[in-house]
Amino acid sequence: DTGVSQDPRHKITKRGQNVTFRCDPISEHNRLYWYRQTLGQGPEFLTYFQNEAQLEKSRLLSDRFSAERPKGSFSTLEIQRTEQGDSAMYLCASSINRLAGGRSGELFFGEGSRLTVL
């Protein structure tokens, strides 16, 4: 399978614990995004990487959230001191720019990591 993969698919944790999600984008994609989705809502933008550089962070991303993409390939999203309001599906997506043959506006999403904070 050469799509975007995310791990773990499901995570249940107690309030106050730290969690980390991993995303492996499509190998030739230089752009990587993290979104969060809750029931009945569309995906909300969290952050964006071009190669290893984090170029945009949403105000939704509090100080408890940190994302990295150290070698410009896989990415991790860590949530420290989780709160019940962090319960959501965390979606990773990747894309390639149009000059490299990408289709405008097309993000390829992984199946997501569902977080439940008790």
Partner 1 sequence: RKEVEQDPGPFNVPEGATVAFNCTYSNSASQSFFWYRQDCRKEPKLLMSVYSSGNEDGRFTAQLNRASQYISLLIRDSKLSDSATYLCVVNSPLRDGAGTASKLTFGTGTRLQVTL
Using CB under 8 A, list all residues that contact partner 1.
Answer: 31, 33, 35, 40-45, 48, 50, 55-56, 91, 95, 97-99, 103-107, 109-112
Name the minimum Å distance from CB 82 to partner 1: 23
The two structure tokens encoding residue 51: 């190669």
d(C-alpha 40, C-alpha 77), whole Å: 23
Query: Of 115, 113, 96, nearest to 105 (Cα)?
Result: 96
Residue of 18, 5, 10, 13 lying closest to 73 (CA atoms):
5
Cβ proximity to partner 1: between 14 and 103 the closer is 103
Q: Which is nearer to partner 1, 18 or 116 (CB)?
A: 116
Smallest gap from Cβ 42 to partner 1, in A, equals: 3
How far is Cα 107 from Cα 96, in angstroms, rounded to an integer? 8
CB of 61 to partner 1, least distance (A): 13
